[in-house]
Each structure stands twice: as C-alpha cells, then as structure tokens.
Structure 1
Amino acid sequence: MVYQLIKLLPIKHLPTLLGIAAVLTSALVAPSAQAQTKTHEGWYQVEMIVVARKDDTGQEHWPSNIKLRYPGDWVELKDPNATEVPNTTNNSASATATAPVVDLTKEAFYLLPASERQLNTQAQKLQRNPRFEVLFHNAWRQVITNKKESKAILINGGQTFGQHQALEGSIRLSVATYLELQTNLWLAQFDVNVGQEITQTWPEIPLRPNYTAATINNLSLDSEVEAELEQALANENPQWSNGNFDANAAAPEANNYVTRQIILLQQERDMRTSEVHYIDHPALNVIIQVTPYPSVATTPLPTAQ
C-alpha cells in the first residue's frame, strides 16, 4: 500500500509519506485480504489518528481562499464517563449520587477506552518522534449507513487557542460498495495578537457547533505561545508583571490570537473494512481503521443537532 502511494505522489510530497512510513514501518501496510465485493450497513468500530508534521508547514504556500464550514447534520464524540444521571432510588434531599449509564456495546459515538484501541503502538511511535505531533487519537463505535443518512462527526484536538484548537473540522463515514471516508479537517496556526500587521487574510474559523466556554483553571504557562501571551498582556497590564499573573482570573479571548495559517484537508477515500488506511498530505495525515462490530444495539442513530 505504501509503495503504491509513493508511485502516485508528486516528488515534493515523498518526504511526508516516507517519514510516516519510516515511523510506523509495516504497521501501515494493510493486511492481505480476499476481494471484497460489498460492504453492508451496520455497526463498526472506528479508530482514527490525525498527525501534523512539525517541520513541513513552511515548505508550502497554502491557499487562503478556502471555505471552512461545519455540516448541519453533525454528531459529537462523547465521553462515557461524563454521562451521568441522578440516582432516583432515594427521594431524600441528600440523594445526589450519580451513576454512569452508557453501555459501550450498544451506544453509538462514545469514546472507547485506550485498552480497546488497535493502533496504540503506531500512535506511540509517532508521539515519540519529534517531527510529528499527534493531534487526535480516538476510537468509537457507530452505525455506518448510506451517504444520504450518514452523520458528520466533529473532530478536534491539539493545543487550544482561545475558542479554537489547532485541529478542527469533521469527517463522514458512509457505505456503498465500499466504505467511504470524507474528510473536512483544518489545521490552524496562531500567533499571539500584539497588534502586528497582518500580511495575509485568512477566512474566519467557524466556532464548533458543540462549543461551550470552559473555565481556564488548568491554564499553564509551560508552552512558548502561552508565555508570549503572558508577556503581551503584561505589557498592557503592568500589574501582571513581576510574576503576578493569575491564570484563574484571565481567560484567553478570541482576539488574543491572530491566524497565521490554515491548512485544509478535504478528501474522499474508498476503504475496505478491517484494513489500516493512510491519507497522505504534506502537513496533515490521517490513519484510520474501520472494523465490523457484532453489536446487539437497538438504539437508533443520534439525530442531527
């Protein structure tokens, strides 16, 4: 599979593919399988890794006349540990206990524990390589239907910059003769807003449809960008200098950052079930595996929000 991709790629993109292939070695080569003539609608387990190349963003001039949008028929990947209901077995005012209610063998679009992933080894190799940054690695189960009835799955990951993360967008999985993957992902790079002159205009990044403003209690100043933000704010607010920055009292607003670059990955790819598929891109790469799941689920698909 990797060698077939190499033959098809332009020469300037070969380092991207060869770099990933060298890290994952044979793990990205799809296992041999018999010819598959029909893929059926039904339950599947999906696992996906999205990787950014740290050393490639300056080698390409990316177009800025792009359109970023979220489809209206979206669903989100939910944390099963965050889904709780009140304990109604005791009617007293002190009965505040909650309990998880998610059955991962029957419920769609819930994140699976790491122990149920198949690509952990590949993700760990990429994480240890300084040339790559793993922005997203999760697995979930869902019903995959025809394209008309399919849902767009919201994807986000990486470092947070105000109201956005480095990786945002959506994917869509559907089935006809083969599985089909549609990617609508963008990788955004930001600079701290210090009033600098903007030399290139990028489109406004849409807010995630499931976005909720979160507290900033866990803000740290370990990263270079956050340190720059602290310094910029200290220049405007002298009382923040001398180490008096209160992370809990100041949340980064949207205008604290300016967009430096946006890289859009929109592709369609036919896939075979159970094989590991790799979508090559000079800056943003996707590794995905979709495996039939023999679920006894009776819960219907979530409706569009």
Structure 2
Amino acid sequence: MNCWTASNWHNQRRPDVELQLRSAMISGYMTMPSPNLRLLTVLLSGMLASTMVLAQSSERWFQIEVSIFTNEDPADRESEYWRPATAPLSYPGTMQRLQSLMDLLIIDDLLIADAPVPEPANLTLANTPSVTTVTESILATGPFPADSSNEFRFYDFARDALVELPASAGNFLQTNQAIESSPAHRLLYHTLWRQPVSASTNSIPLYISGGQQFGGTSELNGNLTLRFNAIADRVNVDADLWLSEFSILGDDSMNWELPAVPTRVQRNHEQYNDDNGLDFRINRIYKLKQSRDMRSTEFHYLDHPAFGVVIAVDSYTVPPPALVDTETAAQQ
C-alpha cells in the first residue's frame, strides 16, 4: 500500500499547478502591474525550469542489496493451492546478468594437455616431460581471460555498474545471519551491486539464480527490474521470481515446466549438467510476481508463502576517475 503524504501530493501535482498559474498569469497580462508581472514571471520561470530539470534527471545511481530466502514451514506453503501457471514462465529478451570476479578467468581444465604419460615399464628420465613442456601444456588449458577479444581489465568496483560487490560492502550481514540461523528459513541468494537506475523505457531486467542445483537447474530463478520514478523520487522494483521443488519421484499429474535459461546469462560452470545420473522431477513451482516503490535507505520486504525477498536501495555518487601518475606508471 502506498503511503501518500502532503509532499507526495505536491510532487505529483506541482507541474500541473504551475502550468495553470502560468496560463492565468498570461491571460491577465494586460491587467497586472508591470513590476509585479516581471517578478512573478521570474519566479514561475524558475519553478518551471526546476521541474524540467527534475524530469530530465531520469537516471540516478543506487547501491542495491537483495536477499532471497525460503519459508520452510509446510503450513505456509500449503495455505494456498498451487498449480501450473496458465501463462508459461518466461525470461525477458533483454535480460542480462551481474558481473562477478568469477567471470574474469575461465578455467575449464587444469589437466596437462597432450602431456605424454609413459608406461611404467618404459619409464626413463628421457621419457619424462620437461618443466617447459609441462608449463606450456598448463598454459594451453587456462586460465584465459573471459573475453579474449578485449584487453584484460580488472573491475573498478567504485565506478563500474552491474558488478557484484563483496558482502562486507553491504548492510545485510546480520540479516543474513538471522535467516541462516533460523530453522524456518534458508538463504537462497544474496548479492549487492551499483547501477544507474533509469526510467521504465530504459530499464534492464537482471537475471537471478540461487539455491541448490538439481540436475543442473537452480531452485530459484527469475529476474528483477529496477526503474526510477523522477517525479516521485522513488525506485520501483519489479520482481518476477519462481522457486522450484525437486524430487526423484515427481508428481506426474501436474505438468510443471521451466523455461530454458538463456545461454548469454549462464556462467561457464552452469552450462554443464552434472546430475550424477539422477532424474529429478519438479513437484511444484511457487511464483512471486510483485512490484514495489521504494525510497532510498528504506528496508523493503516482498512476502510470499514459500519464499521472501528483502531489498534495500541507497543513493550512490560515482567518484571521479582516479588520477594516474603517468611518470610513475611509465617507470613501472
């Protein structure tokens, strides 16, 4: 429920009131004394200019922190009847994923590539691969830069957008500890990042995945979209998430289906399906689809019988680029 205050009403209505005053001022132009008219014109022009600047400032930086956790109480989950959604689950076409340190280096295989393995009977010093050969073989298998087409660059955590930050940079440490220590909950996902939050037309959904893996599929999937409402000075979050229950013996009477995760948002280790030969089936899918408008520094909770979302946004000012001492850099 939105809590409307006098300031909220003022922010919503001020442009219309100003335009009405301006129209009234123009229509009464010939009857108003010239000095008062000039003064009122200056005042109203300043107010209108301020409103235009506010409308144009449709993008601001924020630090966002999110924790998603289960509600383990069976009574809560059984409080509603769940069935496959009439509309199938789907991912938005423009979705992208947060970057992390895991994305910088890809190590597919640290085994020695093409290194000769001598038979025990023929094991001699001459047949033993040299240190140089072994080193070259290791380097031939990784690690490699995640994107070999671009020059390697480490993240600038203070200035780069959509990069996962360490948990120590957030404010949810105690919250997550309380969740993990409670038998009624289980932490599925936690991260924090910074980004410019734009208006609805420019907002980009972010891929969310967490919890345990069953046959290469995560318990938690979906996306979050953040939008900035410059008029109300609030951040709006749209959550489209689903939590899946898996078991070896599934309920064949329900046709539960999950959408395929787009390859572009998968990390390398997630593209391999290691199910240990077990055939997991979906017992049930719980879907959370909610929107919430948030003020900066406020703590918000999206409730659901099966799982919950805690989210906070804080205004963030991007620092200027660090000055580089070119002379010192050249000497190094």
- For 1:73, the equivalent position in structure 2 comes to 94
Name the SS of the counterpart of 1:70 in structure 2. Answer: coil
Matched, 1:41 2:52: no
Deviation at 1:63, TM superposition (A): 2.9
* Greater Rg by CA: 2
Name the SS of the counterpart of 1:166 in structure 2. Answer: strand
Aligned-pair Cα RMSD in Å = 3.4
- For 2:245, the equivalent position in structure 1 comes to 189
5+ residue gaps in structure 2?
12-53, 107-135, 146-151, 322-332
Q: Is the 8 A contact 1:166 1:187 kept in 2?
A: yes
Distance 1:145 1:254, change over 3 A: farther
Deviation at 1:283, TM superposition (A): 1.3
Letter of the 1:266 partner, please give it. Answer: K
How far apart in 2 are the matches of 1:52 and 1:254?
27
Distance 1:208 1:215, change over 3 A: closer
Name the SS of the counterpart of 1:104 in structure 2. Answer: coil
Q: Is the 8 A contact 2:68 2:309 kept in 1?
A: yes
Distance 1:79 1:257, change over 3 A: same
Q: Deviations over 1:70-109 (max 9, x none)?
A: 1111110121354259xxxxxxx88989776100111111
Distance 1:61 1:42, change over 3 A: same
Name the SS of the counterpart of 2:180 in structure 1. Answer: helix
Count of paired positions: 227
Q: Select the residue among 286, 292, 298 that pairs with 1:263.
A: 286
How far apart in 2 are the matches of 1:207 and 1:125?
31
Q: Select the residue among 38, 49, 57 that pairs with 2:77.
A: 57
Name the SS of the counterpart of 2:155 in structure 1. Answer: coil
How far apart in 1 are the matches of 2:299 and 2:305?
19
TM-score (norm: length of structure 2)? 0.60
How far apart in 2 are the matches of 1:215 and 1:275?
34
Deviation at 1:184, TM superposition (A): 0.7
Q: Is the 8 A contact 1:215 1:251 kept in 2?
A: no
How far apart in 1 are the matches of 2:277 and 2:81?
25
Q: Select the residue among 183, 190, 211 that pairs with 2:266.
A: 211
Q: Is the 8 A contact 1:163 1:254 kept in 2?
A: no
Asked which structure has the greater RCO (Cα within 8 Å, sep 6+), the reply is 1
- For 1:21, the equivalent position in structure 2 comes to none
Deviation at 1:255, TM superposition (A): 7.8
The structure with more helix, counted as a fraction of residues: 2
- For 1:120, the equivalent position in structure 2 comes to 173
Deviation at 1:267, TM superposition (A): 0.9
Distance 1:254 1:44, change over 3 A: farther
The structure with more strand, counted as a fraction of residues: 1
How far apart in 1 are the matches of 2:294 and 2:65?
13
Name the SS of the counterpart of 2:269 in structure 1. Answer: coil
Deviation at 1:296, TM superposition (A): 3.6
Q: Is the 8 A contact 1:80 1:100 kept in 2?
A: no
- For 1:199, the equivalent position in structure 2 comes to 253
How far apart in 2 are the matches of 1:78 and 1:291?
20
